Structure formats: structure tokens, C-alpha cells
Amino acid sequence: MPSNSKIKILVSDDDLTARIIMQETLASDDIEVLEAENGKRAVEQFEKHQPALILLDVSMPLMNGFEVCEHIRALESGKHVPIIMVTGSDDLESIHKSYSVGATDFIAKPIKWEILAQRVKYILRASQAFADQMSQQKELHKLAFYDALTGLPNRLLLLKDLQSFLAMARRNDYQAAMLYIDLDRFKRINDTMGHSIGDKLLRKVAHRLQENMRDSDVFSRVGDEELMSNGQLSSFGGDEFTIFLSQLRNSSEAMLVAERVIQSFIKPFKLEQFEVVITPSIGISIFPDDGENAESLLKNADTAMYSAKEAGRSCFKFYRDSMNATAAIRLQLEQDLRTALKSGEIVPFYQPQICAETGNIVSVEALVRWLPAQGGIIPPDEFIPIAEETGLINDLGLLVLQHSCKQAKQWLDQGHRIRVAVNVSAHQFRQLDFTQVVEKTLKECNLPPSLLELELTESVIMSDAEENIKRLIELKNLGVTLAVDDFGTGYSSLSYLKKFPIDILKIDRAFMCDVNSAPDDIAIVEAILALAKSLKLGVIAEGIEEAEQIDILKSSKNLLLQGYLFSRPLAAEKITPLLNQNFTHFMQN
């Protein structure tokens, strides 16, 4: 066995003969014996070689055995190493003193060498078993109390530590603060770029938050040893983090930390070939005003965080009592949405898409609406974000797909060959069985695939272009029409756009203008039209509200027009009478 892999034992005795006999007795193929002729040398040898066991004679020059034992036990690396003291046979006082300074065992003189060898082997085995147990305990503690992805303390550890933090704050009459941080639209990054990119982003966010705490003015007034008692950064799983500040002079210090966190997110995160910009929304609750225990502080900081999101994101909000009412409304809305999905209150409305050449309706876009049983209508911008945050977006998307295909089949049976366009969320598109779901729905509704159009946003299809090309080809092979929605708002690569098996570019309403608009705006629309022409793609222009907007589009082939000029989104029964109408007169200026 190579020397560097042997178990090291340190023997310290000022008697050369005793050291030689110990060397002969203990050394083997597995054990290397180190020697020290005095106490000072023993300390040096321990610090240099970190032996697995130490034999110390009590009476030695420079430092006696007791002093060496105390010194080693004070070191972090020496807390658990076995130390055997060699004492006189009748010296009970030395034996008691050995244990009091931290010795593991003692050997009385004169030494019985065979017994010493066996005792050393036994203690080494026990020490190894103890070390394994300690290692397992540390690993279990890490698994239980630390987030596996970021390495940060998790919710359990924070709740455990908060008891002592808050007790200290009460004793010293400190204010304390809980900052609840949520990453804005993180699910969209996960859905569009993939979970591996999302995980890398979370690790980088955790690192940046740690750097922010080290550099913060609030923490610079305390020493490094006090940093963790003054502030603890924790991961609550997923895209949620907390910072607990336990020693504040006033609540404005919490505001400074929140401002610094938001400022630190301005710099993009570099993730492989991507540069990702993400923003935090932060809710702040103050101890003791907003809660006197961990649960209430966390709950109220979480409530304030949602208020920050509603205020536009990338900001912070302090908790106020009135926020609980808003949070209750939001929770009720989520519960009502779950019920609405089962009770038939969620239905698609349809907005016509007019052929610019003939003036006839050739297709419609399905737009989801919530019609509560008690009357009225809940707009999509109120419930779609909740659906995305709670995972209900998949159920909602499937419902719209199924309803739309049934409706298109019903119109077909009535003699109207109308294509229906259904929006596909990033989360739906990334489902491994999405193509099979579409195929099954078409078969169940007995709808020709050419009468279904799937609309995907530019950012979704570009998130993982190579992989998404495969999925788009699978969908295209079903015979459906594929459209890129909100075109011009994302980051398409022309080289990839040519590879995608898409049929239609849908110009975002933000770009719709007329001949009197700024030249730059007109140039953007004309560039998109030229691109569509070169790639032999159809074009849908949405957001048409005035006839003048059509003038700059007239040269386009395969052009469809959509907007309030022709019709608002309507229930299916109100669309049916429009299918026989011609809208050419709306386009005459």
C-alpha cells in the first residue's frame, strides 16, 4: 500500500526508547507511525499531517500532554480525533485530568504492548464508525435543510432559525424584516427555454443574491461573523427566495436591501448562448408590526409580493392590512377558475379573419372567455396569469382546443369550411405528448386537420430551435396549419425561420399603422411583408380598426385581416350568421 494512503498515528513521548517500541508495535502495511519528542513538536506534526489517532505522554518538555490535548481539541480539525493519554499506573489525578481536557482514553505505565496494539486498532475502528455516522448525519442534515439546486438554506431551516432570530429581536428591541422575492414570469423561461436553462438561471440568481447581501450597506456595519445572524438568504423552492433581516434600526433599511436586489437584476444573466433578463417582485413585512411569528411574517410578505406584481412587477411593496382582502380575492378567483373549468363557464369566443382579396371570412381565432354563472364576464388578463401560475393553463388550453375543433366541425356540417386558429401556450407546446393530444382531438371531432390552425408565439418556437423544429414537423405531418403569433416582438433568426415548417406570419397589433404613420413604423411592416413573400408564407394582420390601416398591406398575397373594423370576438352562435357576409365594403377607403 502506498505510504500516502496509510492511516497515520502520532506518537509523542520524550523517551526515545518508548517511541521506538511504539513504532515497532503499531507500524504495519496499513499504519504509518509519526513521532514527536516534545509537546510543541506534537502540535506541529498534528497540524501538518492530521493523524487519525494520537498517543500523548503526560510528562513532556515545552508542552505537557494535557496542554497538547487542550490545544488540539480547540482546533476544528481536532475536535473528534481520538487522543490516548499515557499516564503513571497509580496516578488517578492524571487520569481525571486526561478526561477533563478531552482525552478519549488512557494507557497506564508500564505499558503492555500487545494490549496497546489491540486497543489502538479498536479505537481506530470506533473512530471510523463515528466519522461515518457524522458524515451521514451531515448529509442527512444537508438534504433536510438545504436546497439541492442552489445550496441555500431551505424553508425548513429558515422556520427553525426564525424562532431564535425573533427571540433575539424581542430581547434587544430590534426591528426585523422578511423580504419575499419572486422572479417575474420565470415559468415562461422554464417553458420556452427548458428546465435545464431554468435551473442554471436559479443558481445564478442565488449567487447574485448572496453577492448582494455581502455588498449591502445594511450588512457592512456588522462583522463577517455576525452576517448570518443579521441576515439569512433562503430558497423557498422554484423561483422564490427570502431574505430575513434580524437586526434593523428602522424599516427603511429593509427598503435599501430591496432596492439593491432590484438594481442587481438589471444586468442580464449569461446562460450558454442566451442572455436572459429577469426581474424580481419583492414583498416586505416588518417585525413586530406585521406579525410576531414566522408564519405571519412569511404570509404577509408573500401577500405584499403579489401586490408588487400587480403594481407592474420589478418593484417592492411593504405589507398593509388591506392587502389581505386583495389576497383573499385572488385565492377565491383561483378556486372559482378551477370550478369554472369543470362547469362550462370557460368558453371560446371567435374573431373573424377576412380574406383581403374576396372579403369573405375564411378563418376565425379562438379567444378564451370566462362567463360566470351569475352573469358578467371576467377578462382574460385577470385569469390567464393565474392559470399559468397554478398550472391550470394546460387544462384551459385543452378545453379551448376541444371546443374549437367541435365548433369547426359543426360549421363544416352546416356547409361553412372555416379554419379555426387556437393559441398554444408555451407549457402546452413543451408537453411530450402534445402532438398526440392534437391528433386525438382531431379524430374525436372528426375534423379535417386542414381546418385547425395552431398559433405559437415567436419566443416559444425560438427558445430551443433545433428541438422545436422536430415538434413542429410532427404537428405539420398531421396536416394542421402552423402560424407564428406576435411576429416581430421576439428574436427570430432568419436561418431558423426558413427551417420551421410554418405557413403563416401573424403581424402583432403593435405594428399596425397606416400611411400617415411614422416612416420607421411603416418600414417595419413592409419588411415583415417582404419576408413573408420571400418565404412564401401567408400573413395575418391583427388589430385592424380603421380602413386606412389596410392601405400599406394591399400589395400582399395570401393576406388575412383581423380586427374590430370587421367584428369583435363573439360567441359561436353570433359568428354563424356572419359567415355568409362579405366585408369588402369595410376595406374601401
Nearest one of 55, 64, 116 to 83, comparing CA atoms: 55
pLDDT digits (tens, 9 = 90+) for 15-73: 888 888 888 888 888 888 999 999 899 999 999 999 989 999 888 888 888 999 989 88
159 in the same domain as 137:
no
102 in the same domain as 160:
no
98 in the same domain as 186:
no
Assign residue 317 the CATH number of its domain: 3.30.70.270
Cβ pair 221, 247 in contact under 8 A: no
Nearest one of 75, 8, 100 to 85, comparing CA atoms: 100
**Domain-located, residue 406:** no
Cβ pair 395, 334 in contact under 8 A: no
Which residues are CB-contacts of 272 (< 8 A; sequence separation ≥ 6)?
A: 197, 200
Whole-number pLDDT of residue 415: 94
Strands (E), 371-437: 419-423
Assign residue 462 the CATH number of its domain: 3.20.20.450
159 in the same domain as 89:
no
Of 145, 180, 200, the position where a domain reaches its end is 145
Name beta bridge partners: 55. Answer: 11, 84
The enclosing H or E element of 183 equals strand 175-183
Q: In total, how many domains does the chain have?
A: 3
Q: Which set of grid coordinates corresponds to residue 293? A: 411569528
159 in the same domain as 141:
no
Distances (CA, A) of 551 to 291, 494, 514, 561: 61, 27, 7, 12
Whole-number pLDDT of residue 223: 36
Nearest one of 141, 15, 181, 160 to 86, comparing CA atoms: 15
Whole-number pLDDT of residue 221: 38
**Which residue in this structure is represented by grid cell 481520538?**
82
**Domain-located, residue 354:** yes
Whole-number pLDDT of residue 159: 85
72 in the same domain as 29:
yes
Q: Which set of grid coordinates corresponds to residue 398? A: 385543452
Distances (CA, A) of 236 to 158, 187, 206, 385, 557: 9, 15, 11, 21, 53
200 in the same domain as 129:
no
- Alpha carbons 85 and 78: distance in angstroms, whole number: 15
Q: What is the dihedral sign for C-alpha 517, 521, 526, 529?
A: negative
441 in the same domain as 461:
yes
187 in the same domain as 47:
no
Name beta bridge partners: 482. Answer: 454
Angle (nearest 5°) at CA 160 between 158 and 164: 100
- Alpha carbons 381 and 184: distance in angstroms, whole number: 16
The phi, psi pair for 74, rounded to 5°, reads -75, -20
SS (H, E, C) 443-492: HHHCCCHHHEEEEEEHHHHHCCHHHHHHHHHHHHHHCCEEEEEEECCCCC
Of 94, 113, 145, the position where a domain reaches its end is 145
**Domain-located, residue 374:** no
Assign residue 23 the CATH number of its domain: 3.40.50.2300
SS (H, E, C) 40-104: HHHHHHHHHHCCCEEEEECCCCCCCHHHHHHHHHHCHHHCCCCEEEEECCCCHHHHHHHHHCCCC
Whole-number pLDDT of residue 225: 36
Please state whether 530 falls in left (phi above 0), alpha (psi between -120 and 50) or beta.
Answer: alpha
**Domain-located, residue 282:** yes
Whole-number pLDDT of residue 181: 95
pLDDT digits (tens, 9 = 90+) for 184-207: 888 878 777 778 888 899 999 999
Instruction: Report, as ranges of residue numbers, the positions in the chain whose pLDDT lies below 70.
Output: 1-4, 89-91, 141, 214-230, 322, 324-327, 463, 488-496, 514-516, 555, 588-589
pTM of the model: 0.54
168 in the same domain as 105:
no
**Domain-located, residue 536:** yes
Whole-number pLDDT of residue 552: 77
Strands (E), 186-305: 231-235, 240-248, 269-271, 274-276, 280-287
In the chain the first and final C-alpha atoms are separated, in Å, by: 95
169 in the same domain as 132:
no
| Domain assignment of residue 278, given as a range | 155-321
Cβ pair 543, 565 in contact under 8 A: no
Distances (CA, A) of 163 to 116, 140, 159, 407, 461: 49, 22, 7, 58, 48
Cβ pair 543, 582 in contact under 8 A: no
Count of C-beta atoms within a 10 Å radius of residue 474: 15
Of 145, 163, 197, the position where a domain reaches its end is 145
Whole-number pLDDT of residue 230: 60
Whole-number pLDDT of residue 228: 38
Q: Which set of grid coordinates corresponds to residue 365? A: 381565432
Cβ pair 587, 550 in contact under 8 A: yes
354 in the same domain as 302:
no
- Alpha carbons 116 and 84: distance in angstroms, whole number: 10
**Domain-located, residue 127:** yes
**Domain-located, residue 332:** no
**Domain-located, residue 334:** no
Q: Which set of grid coordinates corresponds to residue 428? A: 402546452
- Alpha carbons 340 and 373: distance in angstroms, whole number: 9
Whole-number pLDDT of residue 432: 84
- Alpha carbons 572 and 263: distance in angstroms, whole number: 48
Q: Which set of grid coordinates corresponds to residue 572? A: 359561436
CA 416 to chain centre: 47
